[in-house]
Structure 1
Amino acid sequence: MPWLQVRLAITPEQAETYEDALLEIGAVSVTFMDAEDQPIFEPELNTTPLWSHTHLLALFEADTDATALMPHLQLLTGAELPEHHIERIEDQDWERSWMENFQPMRFGKRLWIVPSWHAAPEPDAVNLLLDPGLAFGTGTHPTTDLCLQWLDGQPLENCSVLDFGCGSGILAIAALLLGAPNAVGTDIDPQALEASRDNAGRNGIDPQRFPVYLPADLPQVQADVVVANILAGPLVALAPQITSLVKPGGRLALSGILAEQAEDVRAAYADNFDLDPTATLDGWVRISGVRR
């Protein structure tokens, strides 16, 4: 069925007031979206930051009296209304619309990420089945792209792999499909570990080839190849621990790093690794190297 949508241009300080007021006058849903494509990186723990210029979207039943909404909202908030727009939007098959936006994606020369509803474009290639839109990493972000391209170019036969901050397991599973005999994943989020197990099973990976652990349970291991696609701050803070997980002569790839953060991350690893030139994609970077 169609809906009546109210869009308000608000500041973060106004968010709670207008969310409560809109729900009180009958909104069936309230969501926030970035008004200016402004990224938010590394928020403070236990905070949910909003953009400095935020759009609040509220949906009402189609038969709602649009002329009464804004006066009622102004009465509830007791303030001059921010810039706003009201429109009628038609219903659609949102799931089908979402699915049509995602096609198989190629990384490097051999590797494809293929959504479950698509046939593999190259059946004989290395095809990793993973649905974009799932939590914890699906290949659509530049940092995951950079790591997948790097893995595709590595000789992984006879190499052990460790995925530090494994999320969906996409990097470890890609390494296994590309020839690594085994991989280990670790993440601070138990749901990420469950997602990794599910995705490994979907791709026919024997659980014994890909055990996953919370950090406190991670065995003392060193791997031939370590990938860590997290954030620059943790990569710097955890540099001694991550370094210790790489065998001498082993290879390391780091991402989740903005271009302006690259030098700080490189400096944290330069004493122990012969670092490659920094790879960049859409303002994000990958730092890789070989442990001395």
Structure 2
Amino acid sequence: MDFIELTVEAPRELADILVAELGEVGFDTFEDNDAGFCAYTTEAAFDPDGVAEIMARYEGLGELSHSHRVITRQNWNAEWEKNFQPLIIAERVSVRAPFHPKPAGVDYDIVIMPRMSFGTGHHETTALMIENQLDIDHRGLRVLDMGCGTGILAIMAELLGARQVLAVDVEPWTVENAADNAAENQCRTIECRLGGVEVLAGEAPFDLILANINRNVLLEDMHAYATLLPSGKPILFSGFYEEDLDKIKNEATRQGLVYQRHRTLRSWVSALFVKA
């Protein structure tokens, strides 16, 4: 299965609205840029008429244009390698490709090759999640990484001392990619599993849950996460904009999760909650 990349040029205030609208028609990954943003979905889920309807609804509110292209699995690595640059997060974590040298002066070094997966650390939500992870003592914890993508957060969890990590994603190539990246980083505690919340049935509780997905999935599946989290244990959410934080907070409250704090980066959010 291939991806659709939708490129939208729009002013910031309009871009935020469009991201929310596109999330309702199957797009679940977004990357900001200076001109607007790119949105991603699978080719099978792509609804061109739905996209056209959304764009027509807002075209009178500012300069707005859009186009899309297919990104094949075969071309993904070439595209990524052409544009990828090594990254340092919080001055402590290096994220690089296998063909980049290991930098000096960092506490943790993560090697990522993404295939068709998202989550290289360059997106604001991934970087925010890692910054929040750095504030949590992972030693001896059993960790769940939902929507694991490349597996970067699961790898970070093991590097921080987690005793066991379950990384879950709905896309087969993503799960394969996460497993390969775990092996590349010589991880020993990470299990990569294909599926959604249904594959968590019968699982023992987790000491920490990482869920960097998108607003709609978080709201829909939060009850499942909450049932797997004992009292006093933390959960990190990301994949949504600051304007959606109140919706996340409200649903979290209904599920017995207590808001602690959040970080923002270019309007994206990563928020920490604790089970009451």
Q: TM-score, normalised by structure 1?
A: 0.68
- Cα distance, 1:291 vs. partner? 1.1
What is the Cα deviation at residue 172 of structure 1? 0.8
Q: Distance in 2 between matches of 1:238 and 1:148?
A: 22
Change (3 A) 1:34 1:197: same
Where does residue 38 of structure 2 map in the other structure?
none
Which residue does the alignment assign to 1:196? Answer: 178
- Opposite residue 54 of structure 1, the aligned amino acid is H
Question: In structure 2, what is the Cα distance between the partners aligned to 1:144 and 1:32?
Answer: 21
Q: What SS does the corresponding residue of 1:47 show, helix, strand or coil?
A: coil
Match of 1:283 in 2: 267
Structure 2: distance between partners of 1:97 and 1:217:
32
The one-letter code sitting in structure 1 at the alignment partner of 2:88 is R
Q: Which amino acid aligns with 1:227?
A: L
**Could you list the runs of 5+ residues in structure 2 that have no partner in the other structure?**
27-44, 56-64, 70-76
Alpha-carbon separation, structure 2, partners of 1:101 and 1:249: 42
Q: Secondary structure at the match of 1:221?
A: coil
Letter in 2 for 1:288: L
Equivalent position SS for 2:174: helix
- Unaligned stretches of 5+ residues in structure 1: 1-30, 58-94
CA distance in 1, matches of 2:170, 2:68: 32
Query: Which residue does the alignment assign to 1:78?
Result: none
1:44 maps to a residue whose letter is V
Q: 1:42 aligns to what? A: 23
1:99/1:192 Cα in 2 relative to 1: closer, same or farther (>3 Å)? closer
Query: Number of residue pairs matched?
Result: 224
Partner secondary structure for residue 266 of structure 1: helix
Looking at structure 1, the residues matched to 228 and 68 of structure 2 have their Cα atoms a distance apart, in angstroms, of 45
Structure with max Cα Rg: 1
Whether the 8 Å CA contact 1:280–1:286 is kept in 2: the answer is yes
Identity of aligned residues (%): 25
1:212 to 190, 193, 217: 193
Q: Which residue of 1 aligns with 2:85?
A: 103
C-alpha distance in 2 between matches for 1:124 and 1:144:
18
Higher helix share: 2
- Residue of structure 2 in register with 1:241 after alignment: 224
Who is 1:255 aligned against?
A: 238
**CA RMSD of the aligned region, Å?**
2.7
* Structure 1 residues 125-140: aligned runs within 5 Å: 125-131=107-113, 134-140=116-122
TM norm structure 2:
0.72
Query: Cα 1:34–1:150, aligned 2, differ >3 Å: closer, same or farther?
Result: same
Q: Does 1:112 align with 2:86?
A: no
